[in-house]
Amino acid sequence: MAEFEALAKVDDIPEGGMWPARKRTGEPICLFKVDGRIGAVLDRCTHAEFAMSDGALHGGCEIECVWHGARFDCHTGRVTKGPADEPLPVFDVKIEGDTVLVGRQRPLGAPR
């Protein structure tokens, strides 16, 4: 069973926005909320390692890196627009009460 850790409160993450967090291991996490659902991706673009939480969310959950415009599907991490060519790691998320818990990285490309 995956170990989950509390990284934020549900209300910390604005609708249509992102929130940077860090796991106990130091791994940077970008939490996001789209249509009331919260997800988590690595807060480091696979193209040039800039913070994804500094970027933007688009449409049906596409996250864009602010630096070079690489885009990724929020749910699978799949690259939807270059220059990135490696998928963005996605993490398991669960909500307990008003707390956002983040677990382990899902296999690359796995739907949430």
Give the angle subtended at the CA of 29 by the CAs of 54 and 77, to the nearest 5°: 85
Q: What is the pLDDT of residues 59-81, one digit of tens each?
A: 879 999 999 999 999 999 999 99
Averaged pLDDT for residues 41-64? 94
* pTM summary value: 0.92
pLDDT tens across 83-96, in order? Answer: 999 999 999 999 99
pLDDT at residue number 109: 57
Contact 13, 28 (CB under 8 A): no
The four Cα atoms 9, 11, 13, 15 give a dihedral, to 10 degrees, of: 150
More confident position, 110 or 82: 82
Give the closest residue to 89 by CA, choosing from 42, 33, 22: 42
pLDDT of residue 1: 43
Q: Tell me how many degrees the CA angle 85-23-106 measures, rounded to the nearest 5.
A: 45
Distance CA(100)–CA(9), nearest Å, equals 6
Question: What is the average pLDDT across 86-110?
Answer: 92
pLDDT tens-digit readout, 12-39: 999 999 999 999 999 999 999 999 999 9
Q: With 90 as the cut, is the pLDDT of residue 54 above it?
A: yes
Q: Quote the CA–CA distance of 62 and 22 in Å, as a whole number.
A: 21
